[in-house]
Amino acid sequence: MAESTMADNHTKGEMHGCIVCGKLYELYAVYDPDGRFIESIVMSAGGKSVPHPARPLVACEHHTEDEIERAVQKVYGDHADAED
Ligand SMILES: [Zn+2]
């Protein structure tokens, strides 16, 4: 197998709500061949991807980093279920 491993990643179009206010954005989520989430690329104007190790997250560009961080903590922070 001499092919680039990059080609094995697959990209899926998904709709996700802003982590802060719930506004919907269209994004591409990139997964590796094992189905593990790698990164997301927001396609809609006005949105940006929020780095998260396990899932595609999006937020409006006008939210501050502090606002976004607190929202992520509120939704995913206390459950600590990211590490399987
Ligand atoms: Zn928002």
Gap from CA of 31 to ligand 1 centroid (Å): 24
pLDDT in tens, 16-27: 999 999 999 999
User: Is pLDDT at 13 greater than 60 in this prediction?
Assistant: yes
In terms of Cβ atoms closer than 10 Å to its own Cβ (0-12, 13-18, 19+), residue 70 is middle
Give the per-residue pLDDT at 62: 98
Average pLDDT, the chain: 88
Domain boundaries, the chain: 7-77
What mean pLDDT comes out for the span 72-78?
87
CA 17 to mean position of chain CA atoms: 10
Global pTM value: 0.78
| CA atoms within 13 Å, Cβ hemisphere of 11 | 11
Task: Please tell me the distance from the alpha carbon of residue 77 to that of residue 73, in angstroms, as a whole number.
Answer: 4
Gap from CA of 5 to ligand 1 centroid (Å): 35
Gap from CA of 60 to ligand 1 centroid (Å): 4
